[in-house]
């Protein structure tokens, strides 16, 4: 019999988080971010956390809310150009920052979920990224050794899920959510629609429930766009 992993809400889902932890947060830009989980982290007011995320949100949304509250000690990201507060904290030395090539970040998360401790990649060779890292040559090209990433909690957001934790993502939300779901010791999934076990087409599932420990149906999704570009009327 499949385990029922449904919890009531973000409050119950985030039971056990505390200061100093490392979190993974899925999403790409503001697409597919775990909005309810982030709001609960803000409410809890936990401090000195390390966040692994493709981006840092914007000043007043996404991870930008945690930055405003000075809750984040270190960011491990690949793109942070939309957040003025992030820039201010980084330049002032208030925030530790590890900037990683986007493909390397994705593979480090995937490797963590797959149990692969490290891998070689040519990305970043000859730059500050490579400082202090082992280098080897493969097929005549130098590569640097990158370690896998894992987290005590991974917070992901899916379009639809079932009570056993099986998840289906929509469009761009498939970018970082699936690999981060694999790499968390405790993975919390929030979904727009939570259905009973058996209602999802097995061929459509992107994250099997074995990687998810807690799931809940989220509320009040804003789904904001970072930079809205529209065509002027003729």
Sign of the alpha-carbon dihedral angle for 19, 129, 26, 164? negative
Q: How many CA atoms lie within 13 A of 170 on its CB side?
A: 12
Q: How far apart are CA 53 and CA 34, in angstroms?
A: 11
Q: Is the pLDDT of residue 1 over 60?
A: no
Which pLDDT band holds residue 2 (cuts at 50, 70, 90)? low
CA 106 centroid distance within chain: 10
Rounded to whole angstroms, the Cα distance separating 22 from 142 reads: 31
Output the CA angle 153-43-149, nearest 5 degrees: 20
| pLDDT tens per residue, range 45-89 | 999 999 999 988 888 899 999 999 999 999 999 987 778 898 899
Average pLDDT, integer, range 129-142: 96
Q: Which of 217, 194, 173 minimizes the C-alpha distance to 8?
A: 217
Looking at 17-21, 54-58, 96-100, 168-172, which range is the least confident one?
54-58
CA distances from 97 to 25, 34, 76, 129 (A): 16, 21, 6, 12
| Higher pLDDT, residue 213 or 225 | 213
pLDDT, greater one: 11 or 82: 11
Delineate the domains of the chain, giving CATH numbers in brackets: 10-117+149-217 (3.40.1080.10)
């Amino acid at each position: 019999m499949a385990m029922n992993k449904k919890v009531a809400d973000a409050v119950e889902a985030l039971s056990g988080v505390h200061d100093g932890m490392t979190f993974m947060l899925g999403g790409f830009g503001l697409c597919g971010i775990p909005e309810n989980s982030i709001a609960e982290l803000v409410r809890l007011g936990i401090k000195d956390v390390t966040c692994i995320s493709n981006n840092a949100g914007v000043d007043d949304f996404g991870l930008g809310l945690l930055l405003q509250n000075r809750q984040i000690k270190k960011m491990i990201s690949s793109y942070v150009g939309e957040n003025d507060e992030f820039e201010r904290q980084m330049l002032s030395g208030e925030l530790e920052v590890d900037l990683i090539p986007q493909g390397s970040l994705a593979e480090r998360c995937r490797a963590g979920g797959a149990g692969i401790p490290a891998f070689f990649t040519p990305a970043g060779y000859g730059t500050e990224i490579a400082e202090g890292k082992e280098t080897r040559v493969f097929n005549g090209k130098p590569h640097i050794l990158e370690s896998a990433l894992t987290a005590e909690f991974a917070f992901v957001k899916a379009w639809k899920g079932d009570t056993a934790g099986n998840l289906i993502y929509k469009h761009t939300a498939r970018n970082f959510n699936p690999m981060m779901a694999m790499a968390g010791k405790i993975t919390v999934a929030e979904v727009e629609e939570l259905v009973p076990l058996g209602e999802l087409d097995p061929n459509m599932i992107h994250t099997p429930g074995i990687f998810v420990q807690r799931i809940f149906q989220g509320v009040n999704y804003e789904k904001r766009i970072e930079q809205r570009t529209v065509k002027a009327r003729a």
